[in-house]
Structure 1
């Protein structure tokens, strides 16, 4: 009942977005650290592919990679503007995903109660 494609996809999305929020926080915290490379978290393409192929989304895990953006003289490549926009986007997606989960489970509760 809780392992259907939509529930599984929502759980994977929450985990991926949470990992992205952590990476963004680390990037911002290390904005002045010499040699620090910004981290990027990717999972959407793998999630989309798993669902399209009829595979379980639960096999998808967020992948973290170092940014290939150019570096400043100190070797750091964190861009505060980019991180701020990414934080806003990720927060909105996270809230939307949680709202979708809440709606799904509310419908399930109503069905169980017979409402």
Structure 2
């Protein structure tokens, strides 16, 4: 059960989303730091490929944003970070509920035995 593709993929997704939340927090914390380039976390495409291949395990990657910078060399956009944070939070809740559902079924099966 804990090695199924769906369970491993959900845990990979949770890891990627948690990293994205930390990177967003770092971006917002450095919104006024001259020369700071926002970080972006990507894992969805590699997760999709891993699920298709039957493994489900991926490691998220952090890359610097190539978006245009302001005059101080900083490219953090508070609107973008806020929307990304809300989206990431909702995705994290959904993934957490899916993993919790797996454990609920396991608890139910153990009580029935």
Work out whether the TM-score is over 0.5: yes
Tell me how far 1:108 sits from its aligned partner.
Answer: 1.2
Ranges in structure 2 where 5+ consecutive residues have no aligned partner? none
- CA distance in 2 between counterparts of 1:45 and 1:27 reads 23
Gaps of 5+ in 1: none
Is it true that 1:82 corresponds to 2:112 in the alignment? no
CA distance, structure 2, for counterparts of residue 50 and residue 3 of structure 1: 14
The 5-angstrom pairing of residues 26-37 of structure 1 reads 26-37=26-37
Deviation of 1:104 (Å) = 1.1
**TM-score, normalising length: structure 2:** 0.97
Q: Deviations over 1:85-105 (max 9, x none)?
A: 000000000011101111111
Is the partner of 1:57 in helix, strand or coil? coil
The answer for the alignment partner of 2:70 in structure 1 is 72
Q: TM-score w.r.t. structure 1 length? A: 0.95
Question: What value does the CA root-mean-square deviation take over the aligned residues?
Answer: 1.0
